Amino acid sequence: MSSLSRLSRRHFFSAAAGFAAAASAPRAGFAQAPAAAPAATPAATGPFLVPPLPYPTNAFEPHIDARTMEIHHDKHHGAYVANLNTLAKTNPQLGTSAVPDILGNLNALNDDIKFAVRNNLGGHANHTMFWEIMGPNGGKPEGEVLAAIGDLGGLEKFQTDFNAAGGRQFGSGWVFVTVTKDGKLAIENRPNQDTPIMDGKRVLMGNDVWEHAYYLNYQNRRPDYLKAWWNTVSWSKIAERYAAAKAGTLGV
């Protein structure tokens, strides 16, 4: 080996060691998580992937802390995706069919994978929607979405009813707003990682009321989390999903 390549190797290893030390150094505090770093996404093994967050993990502080976002996205969503990739090794059709088609026809699956697909593909669909409908500077509901919310009694009542449904969910689950093809909304909750997609419906938006979504900051105070969460909602994304639902192109 030439001295030059030895030098580059040594340089590489010391740089790598420095990187590892920096990566394992304790954070000064969760609130100081780097602003420019979106959550790392687990290595792609496919066919399922955790979608990268389109905003930094601290985008929603103080309403949702960066550490919760990081663990929730990388570890919880990451685990559903890892489980799906394992399932897809022996059931390749899982990776080639549209997610709403599989979730809407769980009974067509073999009994040995039905439960795992329900939980993990439900979890993947729910979290993919969840990251998508949140965003910094989320604005306000406008136009057709605001009118549809008006049919449920107006924004304030809609948010109160949504929070109440999320609070009523016993144990882990979700509170969703479903949307029909003619644009009508309804608030519905589901246990575990179930989704209205399993009933052939489409989800406009939803909030995760599993304790992992809020426990670090809110502990048992789920109602406080439900109220604060509205500060993280991206109404422009929801308007896009509403339009897609009416066009029949809304996926998960």
Site track 176-215 with Mn ion (rule: CB under 5 A), x = hit: --------------------------------x-x-----
State the minimum distance, in angstroms, from the CB of residue 129 to Mn ion.
Answer: 11
Q: Tell me the pairing of strands 203-208 and 173-179.
A: antiparallel
Closest CB to Mn ion among residues 78, 141: 78
What are φ and ψ of residue 176, in 5° steps?
-120, 160
Closest CB to Mn ion among residues 124, 202: 124
Q: Which amino acid is at 101?
A: D
Record the tokens describing residue 61, joined without a space: 């502080």
SS3 content of the chain, % helix, strand, coil (to 5): 55, 10, 35
State the minimum distance, in angstroms, from the CB of residue 209 to Mn ion.
Answer: 9
Closest CB to Mn ion among residues 74, 188: 74
Residue nearest to Mn ion (CB): 208
Burial class (CB in 10 A: 0-12, 13-18, 19+), 3: exposed
Closest CB to Mn ion among residues 70, 208: 208
Q: Are the CB atoms for 206 and 241 separated by under 8 Å? A: no
Closest CB to Mn ion among residues 88, 209: 209
State the minimum distance, in angstroms, from the CB of residue 72 to Mn ion.
Answer: 6
What are φ and ψ of residue 170, in 5° steps?
-80, 125
Look at residues 154, 160, 174, 136 and name the one whose alpha carbon lies nearest to residue 59: 136
65 binds Mn ion (CB under 5 A): no
Site track 87-126 with Mn ion (rule: CB under 5 A), x = hit: ----------------------------------------
Number of residues in contact with Mn ion under rule CB under 5 A: 3
Please give the Cα distance from 134 to 249 (Å, whole number): 20
Chain residues that interact with Mn ion, rule: CB under 5 A: 76, 208, 210
